[in-house]
Amino acid sequence: MSDDNIGAGCLNSGCILDLSQFEAGPSCTRALAWLGAEVVKIENANDGAPGRFFFGEPPDKDSWYFLLFNASKKSITVNLRDPAGVALVKDMARRADVMVENFAPGALERLSLDYDAIRAFNAVLFKMFAFIRSFIARAACHWSRYRIFPKWKVKC
């Protein structure tokens, strides 16, 4: 292996499709951007990523929280409730090397943007589909420590 593929710039030819929000997904894709990958963040068409407005920032100013976790990325707003928005994300996924998401379980399946749907048209180029969950499957509720926190909205 040559030294050209190690460290900063080692992912210069990579394209990451980022459908994540809050900390886990954005920190993962931020690291990939720092290594040279082109990261395209998909945000809610109505008001952008939820983290943009944390800590009471005015509507025209992104929060430090959002800037911290989304540095070095490109962003696009997409309405995933509109079939044209879903088609746009699928078109972008055709060219992606990696897709990262952390939607609630079942959300991407309802949009036909889950691993199997994307893999059907990007079998050669699509290298990785990463999902990061703070949610748990219904069958796992009995042992999860998160079931005691109502903010997680886990129903067992």
Give me the residue spans of the domains in the chain: 16-152
CA atoms of 119 and 115, how far apart (whole Å)? 6
Q: What is the pTM of this model?
A: 0.76
Torsion angles phi and psi, residue 37, rounded to 5: -70, 150
Q: What is the pLDDT of residues 32-44, one digit of tens each?
A: 999 899 999 999 9
74: nearest Cα among 29, 46, 41, 45? 41
pLDDT of residue 150: 45
pLDDT surpassing 60 at residue 142: no
Beta bridge partners of 73: none
Output the 3-class SS for 10-41. Answer: CCCCCEEEEECCCCHHHHHHHHHHHCCCEEEE
* Average pLDDT over all residues of the chain: 79
Given pLDDT bands bounded at 50, 70 and 90, which one contains residue 149? very low
**Looking at 48-57, 78-87, 132-141, which range is the least confident one?**
132-141
Q: What is the DSSP letter of 104?
A: P
CA distances from 94 to 17, 103, 127, 143, 150 (A): 10, 20, 11, 38, 38
- Write the class of the CATH domain 16-152: alpha beta
Among 111, 91, 143, residue whose Cα is nearest residue 101? 111
Residue 97: which of 123, 76, 67, 128 has the closest Cα?
128
Residue 114 exposure: Cα atoms within 13 Å on the Cβ side: 10
pLDDT tens digits, one per residue of 68-114: 999 999 999 999 999 999 999 999 999 888 889 888 888 889 999 98
CA neighbor of 136 nearest in space, from 128, 147, 127: 147
